[in-house]
Amino acid sequence: MHDNRWRKTLPLVAGAAALALALAGCTPGGSPSGGDRPLRMWSGSMTPITNNFNPFAVDTATHMTFGAIYEPLFFFNQLSDDAPVGMLGDSYEFNEDGTVLTVTIKPDLKWSDGEALTAEDVAFSLGYGSNLDPDMVSVEATDGTTVVVTYSSPKFTATSLILGSTWIIPKHIWSEIDDYMTETNPKPVGSGPYTLKSFTDAAYTLEANPLFRDGAPAITEVQDIGIDSNQSSEDLLKTGKLDWVGQFIANPDGVTSNGRISTMNQQQDPTVIMTCADASMGCAGAQTDPAVRQALNVAIDRGAISSKAFAGLSGEASPSFALLPRDEKWLSDPSLAVSPQEPDAATAEGILEAAGYTKGNDGFYGKDGTAIELDLFSPDGWTDYNDAAKLISAQAAKAGIRVNARTVSEAEYWTPISTGEFQLALYGITQSLVADPFSNYDRYFTTTATAKVGEEPTKGQNYARYTNPAVDEAVKQAGATQDEAIKKDAYAIVQTEIARDLPYIPVVLNASQSFFNTADFTGWPTEDDLYAAPLPYLSTASAVILTHLRPVEK
Amino acid sequence: MKFWMRRIAFYIITLWAAISLNFLLPRLLPGDPAAIMLGKLRRANGGRPLSEETIKAITSILGAEKGSTLWDQYLAYWGRLLHGDLGVSSTRYPAPVGELIAAALPWTVTLVGAATIISFVLGIIAGAWVGWFRGTWVDQLVPITTFLQSIPYFWLALVLVAVFSVQLGLLPIIGGYDVFEFPAGPEWTPAFFASAFVHALLPAATIVISSVGGWLLGMRNMMVQTMSEDYVLTAEAKGLRPSRIRTAYAARNASIPSLAGFGIALGFVVAGSIVTEQVFSYPGLGKLMIQSVQGLDYALMQGVFLVITLTVLAANFLIDLLYGFIDPRVRRDG
C-alpha cells in the first residue's frame, strides 16, 4: 500500500517541478516603453530602506545621497588614470611640499533650494564633522570661488579623499545642525543633478534638479528600489521592471539574451586570504611563519577557484597589489604582475622542507612535533567565498598543509578580524580609487594602520597585523612626494617586500557585474569609453552615469 | 475564580522571565556592536581616518554599556522599557526601534495571519473529509500535502515566482505593493489595496502550501479516532444524516486538539516568515529579526523578541480562556 501510494503521487509532483524549471528557462517578452518613465535601479539597498539622507552617515544613509544629491569637488574615475573630472571644482593645486591645497570652484553654482553655492560652503564642509582632518591647520575662502586649505603634513596621497569623497554641504543649513551623527536630513538640499521627490521604505524617487549647473539631466526621474535577494532583482531585470543593477549573475546570457539588457564586468577588488601575520603583534598559529604563507601561496589552484567558486568571472590577482593594466607604470617587476594560476605542490613542499618542516605519517607537514593546522573562515552565505575556502582547504591538503575551512555568521566574522584573533580569513580588499596603488599600501600594509592583537586599528585597515620597517619607510617616502621616479623606487621596495612576506595571499580579483537597459536608455559607458564604472552602488560614479544618460527616442 | 487567579499569576511570572531572558540572550552572542559599526564605517569611509569624536560618539551609543555591570544594565533596560523606549537601531542608525517595528508589524500580521488562518481552515475541512472517507482515494491527499510541506520553502517560492511572475507575468515578483505604481508609498485607495492583495497572493500561497499538510494530517487522524467513538455509533443507529454526523458529531470533537495548536500558531504569526519576507522582499518583522541578529543590533533584536514574546503569551492566554469555556475539565477548581 505504502509503495503504491508513492508511485502515484511522485511523478505528478516531479512533473510539475520539471515543467516549472523548463518554463523558467525561456525568456519573456513585453517591455514597458522608455521615454517619460523613471529609470529604475537597484543600488543594493535592502528593505526597509532607512529614511536617512545625511552624507555623514556613510553606512546607513540612502545610496543616492552620495553623488546624486550631494557632490564632491571632483570625480575620480577608478577605471582609468585620467585626470579627475571637475564636479563643483574647476581646478586644484598643491604647493611644493603638499601642505597647502588651493581649490577653485565653478562660478554661479546654486543649491537645490536656490541659494548660491560659494567657496564659503566648501570651506565650511572641509572643516565640518567627520570631514575635519586632524592635520588641518586652517581653511579659508579667499574669494567667492577659491578655497585655500593648509595642513601640517603633506596631503598628496589624500587628494582623492579630500577632493573626491568629501561631500560638499550647504553652510546655511548645516551650521544650524547640532549633531551631525544623529541627523537624518529627510529633506536634503544638495548641489547634485537630482533632488528627493518621495521616500518610502520600499523605494524612493529622485527628480531632476532644475538648478543643476549643467541644466536638469535628461532622465527626469530615478527610482531606487529596495530588494532583499539577488534572485528577485534578476527576475525584475528579465521582466523589464528594472533598468540598472550591479550584482553577481552566474549566467549573464539568461538576462541579456532578449537584447534589451547589456552587461559589463569590471574586475577590481582583490579577494585575499588574510593572515594574522606577525607573531610580534600577538598573532598565534603556523601562518605567522612566512614560509607557511609562501607555501600556501603556491599550493592553491587559482584557476580552479576562479572557475568553480567565482563562475569564471573573476580576474587574476597580482601580488604587487597594483591594479593591472590601470597601474601598469607603477609595477616594478613584471614577475609580480600575476599570482601563480596553477598549483605547484612540489614547490610548496620544498619551501616547507627548507624551513624545517617535516611530513608526518598522515601526509601533513609539521615542525617540532606540532602539525600545521590552520583555521580559515568566511561569512556564512557569501557563497563564492565559502566555496573558495573549501577549494583552498582541499588544494592545500594536496601540498601537505592542513587548512580547515569553516563559515561563521557575519557578526562573528568582523569581530575577530578587527581584534586580530584569527589565523586565516577570506577577505575582500578595496582597490585604490585612483590609478596609484598608494592607498592599498598605506591602508593595508603599514604599521600605523595596524594594532596589536586584542586592539583595533584606529587608522587604516591592516587587520593582518603586518609590520615591516622597510615598507613603512617606503610608503612614507612615496606619500611625501609627487616625483614619479622617487615614488616608483619606493613602490619597488614595497612590492618586493609584500610579495615575499604575503600577509595577504592574493586569490582572485572580484568580478563586479553590471546590467543596464540599453533599449530604453542610451549613453551608458562602453568598453571604448569607460567614463565611469557602471556599477549603481558606487557613489559619485553612479550619478555621473545618470547625467550621461538619455531616453531612447522611439 | 481561584483558577483564573492562578493563571494570571503564572502569566505575570512568565512575562517577567521572558523579558529578562530577552535582555540576557543578545548579550551572550559573540561580538561587539560598536566594533562592528566602527569597522563598517572605516571600510565605507574609504580610508579616511575616523575622528576621535566619531569613535567616541559611536561607542557611547552602542558600547556605553561596556563599563557598567550587568545588573545596572538590567535595571536601565527595565526603566527604558517601562517608558516605552525600545532604543535606537545600530544597523539602521539613528532610526528608533519602535518605528521600525510599527512599520513592519501590520504587513506581517496581515500576511502571515491570513495565511495561517487559511491554512488552518483548509487543513481542518480537508482533514475532516479525508478522515470521513478514510481508505478511499482521497487518502492520497495526506502524502501529497506532507510532500508539499517537505519541499524546502525557498525552493517552492522560487519555482512559483519563476512560473507565475517571470514566465506568465501574472503576479508581482517583490514587495508588499507595487512600488512602481505607488512611488509615494501606501495610500488609502482601493487601487492600493488591490495592489497589496495581489502582492500577498504568492507569499501567502507559499505559506499555505507548505503548512496545510500538518493541519490536514492531525485532523484526519483525530477524525478517524473520533469516528470509532460510541456516540458516533449511536448517532448512526439513530439514523441521522451522514453529513450531520460528520460535521456536528465527529468533526466538531475532532477539531479540539487542532484548535490548541492553532492558538500557538497564531502566537507565532508576528515572528513572521523569515524566508517569505526574504524571497519576496516583503516587508515584515522576520526580516528585521534576521538583520538585527546578523548586525548584532541589540536594541532591534530585543524589540523584535519582545513583541514576539508578548504575542505568544497573549495568544496562549486567550487559548487558555477559550479552552476553559470549551472544555470544563480544565477549569475544575481543586
Residues above pLDDT 70, as percent of chain A: 94
- Closest residue in B to A205 (Cα) is B183
Residues of chain B neighbouring A238 (CB-CB closer than 8 A): 166
User: Closest Cα to residue A160, out of B43, B45, B41?
Assistant: B45
Residues above pLDDT 70, as percent of chain B: 85
Residues of chain A neighbouring B162 (CB-CB closer than 8 A): 20-21, 23-24, 235
Number of Cβ within 10 Å of residue A357's Cβ equals 24
Q: Is the pLDDT assigned to residue A413 strictly greater than 90?
A: no
Encode pLDDT of B206-237 as tens digits. Answer: 999 988 999 999 999 999 999 999 999 999 99
The CA distance from A163 to the nearest CA of chain B, in Å, is 12
Q: Is the pLDDT assigned to residue A18 strictly greater than 50?
A: no
**Is the CB of residue A48 less than 8 Å away from at least one CB of chain B?**
yes
DSSP string computed for A76-121: --TT--SPPEESSEEEEEE-TTS-EEEEEEPSSEE-TTS-EE-HHH
Task: pLDDT band for A20, please (50, 70, 90 cuts).
Answer: very low
The confidence score (pLDDT) of residue B272 equals 65
Task: pLDDT band for B58, please (50, 70, 90 cuts).
Answer: low
Number of Cβ within 10 Å of residue A532's Cβ equals 26
* CB spacing of A418 vs B54 below 8 angstroms: no
Residues above pLDDT 90, as percent of chain A: 72
Name the residue among A8, A20, A47 with its Cβ closest to that of B163.
A20
The confidence score (pLDDT) of residue A23 equals 37
DSSP string computed for A22-54: HHHHS--------TTSPEEEE-SPPSSPP----
Q: ipTM of the assembly?
A: 0.83
**Is the CB of residue B38 less than 8 Å away from at least one CB of chain A?**
yes
* Mean per-residue pLDDT, A66-75: 96
**Is the CB of residue A415 less than 8 Å away from at least one CB of chain B?**
yes
Q: Is the pLDDT assigned to residue A474 strictly greater than 90?
A: yes
Residues of chain A neighbouring B87 (CB-CB closer than 8 A): none
The confidence score (pLDDT) of residue B315 equals 85
* CB spacing of A456 vs B39 below 8 angstroms: yes
* Mean per-residue pLDDT, A539-550: 95
Q: What's the Rg (C-alpha) of chain A? A: 26
**Is the CB of residue B77 less than 8 Å away from at least one CB of chain A?**
no
* CB spacing of A225 vs B179 below 8 angstroms: yes
Residue of A128, A151, A183, A414 to mutate, interface with B, max B Cβ within 10 Å:
A414
Residue in the block written with cell 604587487: A320
Q: Is the pLDDT assigned to residue A548 strictly greater than 80?
A: yes
| H helix runs in B180-297, sequence order | 190-227, 230-238, 242-244, 252-254, 256-267, 274-279, 285-294
Encode pLDDT of B124-171 as tens digits. Answer: 999 999 999 988 888 888 899 999 888 888 889 999 999 999 999 899
Residue of B28, B37, B42 to mutate, interface with A, max A Cβ within 10 Å:
B42
Name the residue among B92, B94, B167 with its Cβ closest to that of A28.
B167
**Is the CB of residue B84 less than 8 Å away from at least one CB of chain A?**
no
The confidence score (pLDDT) of residue B67 equals 62
Residues of chain A neighbouring B55 (CB-CB closer than 8 A): 458
**Is the CB of residue A157 less than 8 Å away from at least one CB of chain B?**
no
Name the residue among B95, B281, B294 with its Cβ closest to that of A229.
B281
- Closest residue in B to A419 (Cα) is B35
Q: Please report the residues numbered 272 through 301 in chain B whose beta carbons come closer than 8 angstroms to any beta carbon of chain A.
A: 277-281, 283, 287-288, 291, 293-296
The CA distance from A477 to the nearest CA of chain B, in Å, is 19
Residues of chain B neighbouring A30 (CB-CB closer than 8 A): 169
Name the residue among A161, A201, A411 with its Cβ closest to that of B30.
A411
Q: Is the pLDDT assigned to residue A222 strictly greater than 80?
A: yes
DSSP string computed for B123-190: HHHHHHHHHHTTTSGGGGHHHHHHHHHHS-HHHHHHHHIIIIIIIS--S-SSSSS-TTT-TT---SSH
String of b and e for B212-248 (b: at least 16 CB within 10 Å)?
bbbbbbbbbbbbbebbeeeebeebeeeeeeeeebbee
Task: pLDDT band for B260, please (50, 70, 90 cuts).
Answer: confident
* Mean per-residue pLDDT, A176-180: 86
Task: pLDDT band for A123, please (50, 70, 90 cuts).
Answer: very high
Q: Which helix (H) or strand (E) holds A374?
A: strand A373-379
Q: Could you give the CA distance from residue A431 to residue A334 in angstroms, rounded to a whole number? A: 20
Name the residue among B35, B93, B288 with its Cβ closest to that of A60.
B93
Number of Cβ within 10 Å of residue B331's Cβ equals 15
* Mean per-residue pLDDT, A202-218: 95
Encode pLDDT of A183-209 as tens digits. Answer: 899 999 999 999 999 999 999 999 999
The confidence score (pLDDT) of residue A68 equals 96
User: Closest Cα to residue A104, out of A73, A58, A140, A146?
Assistant: A146
- Closest residue in B to A182 (Cα) is B94
Q: Is the pLDDT assigned to residue A407 strictly greater than 80?
A: yes
Distance spanning both ends of chain A, measured CA to CA: 65
The CA distance from B14 to the nearest CA of chain A, in Å, is 30
Query: pTM value?
Result: 0.84
The confidence score (pLDDT) of residue A29 equals 35
Q: Could you give the CA distance from residue A19 to residue B162 in angstroms, rounded to a whole number? A: 11
**Is the CB of residue B25 less than 8 Å away from at least one CB of chain A?**
no
The confidence score (pLDDT) of residue A10 equals 33
DSSP string computed for A227-288: -S-HHHHHHHHHTTS-SEEE---S-THHHHTTSSEEEEEEEEEEEEEEE---GGGT--SGGG
Q: CB pairs below 8 Å between A and B: how many? A: 203
* CB spacing of A227 vs B281 below 8 angstroms: yes
The CA distance from B138 to the nearest CA of chain A, in Å, is 11
Residues of chain A neighbouring B166 (CB-CB closer than 8 A): 24, 28, 235, 238-239
Angle, alpha carbons A278-A279-A285 (nearest 5°): 100
Q: Could you give the CA distance from residue A369 to residue A75 in angstroms, rounded to a whole number? A: 56
Kindly tell me the sign of the dihedral angle through the C-alpha atoms of A331, A335, A336, A341: positive
Beta strand pairing call for A74-75 and A402-408: unpaired
* Mean per-residue pLDDT, A103-132: 94
DSSP label at A202? S
Residues of chain B neighbouring A19 (CB-CB closer than 8 A): 163
Q: Is the pLDDT assigned to residue A328 strictly greater than 60?
A: yes
Q: Are A55 and A131 in contact (CB under 8 A)?
A: no
Residues of chain B neighbouring A410 (CB-CB closer than 8 A): 294-295
Residues of chain A neighbouring B150 (CB-CB closer than 8 A): none
Kindly tell me the sign of the dihedral angle through the C-alpha atoms of B169, B173, B175, B179: negative
Q: Please report the residues numbered 135 through 164 in chain B whose beta carbons come closer than 8 angstroms to any beta carbon of chain A.
A: 139-140, 143-144, 147-148, 158-163
Q: Are B83 and B77 in contact (CB under 8 A)?
A: no
Q: Is the pLDDT assigned to residue B63 strictly greater than 70?
A: no
| H helix runs in A399-550, sequence order | 410-419, 438-444, 469-479, 484-501, 541-548
The CA distance from B317 to the nearest CA of chain A, in Å, is 32
The confidence score (pLDDT) of residue A7 equals 32
Q: Which of A137-141, A344-348, B64-68 has the lowest mean pLDDT?
A: B64-68
Encode pLDDT of B277-310 as tens digits. Answer: 888 989 989 888 888 887 777 788 888 888 888 8
Q: Is the pLDDT assigned to residue A295 strictly greater than 50?
A: yes
* Mean per-residue pLDDT, A58-73: 93
The confidence score (pLDDT) of residue A16 equals 38
Angle, alpha carbons B305-B309-B311 (nearest 5°): 120
The confidence score (pLDDT) of residue B54 equals 67
Q: Is the pLDDT assigned to residue A433 strictly greater than 90?
A: no
Encode pLDDT of B85-113 as tens digits. Answer: 887 787 787 788 889 999 999 999 899 98
String of b and e for B97-125 (b: at least 16 CB within 10 Å)?
bbebbebbbebbbbbbeebbebbbebbbb
Q: Is the pLDDT assigned to residue A441 strictly greater than 80?
A: yes
* Mean per-residue pLDDT, A44-49: 89
Distances (CA, A) of B173 to A228, B104, B184: 11, 19, 19
Task: pLDDT band for A24, please (50, 70, 90 cuts).
Answer: very low
* Mean per-residue pLDDT, A151-161: 89
Task: pLDDT band for A255, please (50, 70, 90 cuts).
Answer: very high
**Is the CB of residue B44 less than 8 Å away from at least one CB of chain A?**
yes
Q: Are B196 and B177 in contact (CB under 8 A)?
A: yes
Encode pLDDT of A272-291 as tens digits. Answer: 999 999 999 999 999 999 99
User: Closest Cα to residue A185, out of A48, A68, A66, A65?
Assistant: A65
